[in-house]
Amino acid sequence: MKKGLISGILLVAIGTFVVYWSVDHSPYAPLGEQVKDVFDSNSYRMSEFWYYTSLVVGTIIALLGLRNILRK
């Protein structure tokens, strides 16, 4: 495999993970999940600023990876 293809696949995977992670820790969780999080000491919700920032950054990383894949 070529270097551009490998880096593209890696960037798409990282970007997808960041988007999934931010959606999983969304401040807009349903009420049932928010109540469950009160009793779980390891859970947390992101603030709106960091939620949208991580969505944008993850999307940009994934799109850069897609560009690398399509370029090669």
pLDDT one-digit tens code per residue, 50-61:
999 999 999 999
Beta strands in the chain (DSSP E): none
| pTM to 2 decimal places | 0.81
Question: For 53, what's the count of Cα atoms within 13 Å in the CB-facing half-sphere?
Answer: 5
More confident residue, 42 or 69: 69
The predicted structure's pLDDT at residue 59: 98
pLDDT one-digit tens code per residue, 13-52:
999 999 999 998 888 877 777 777 777 777 778 889 999 9
Please name which of 22, 71, 2, 28 lies closest in space to residue 14, comparing C-alpha atoms.
22
Per-residue confidence band for 1, with pLDDT thresholds at 50, 70 and 90: low
3-state secondary structure of 22: helix
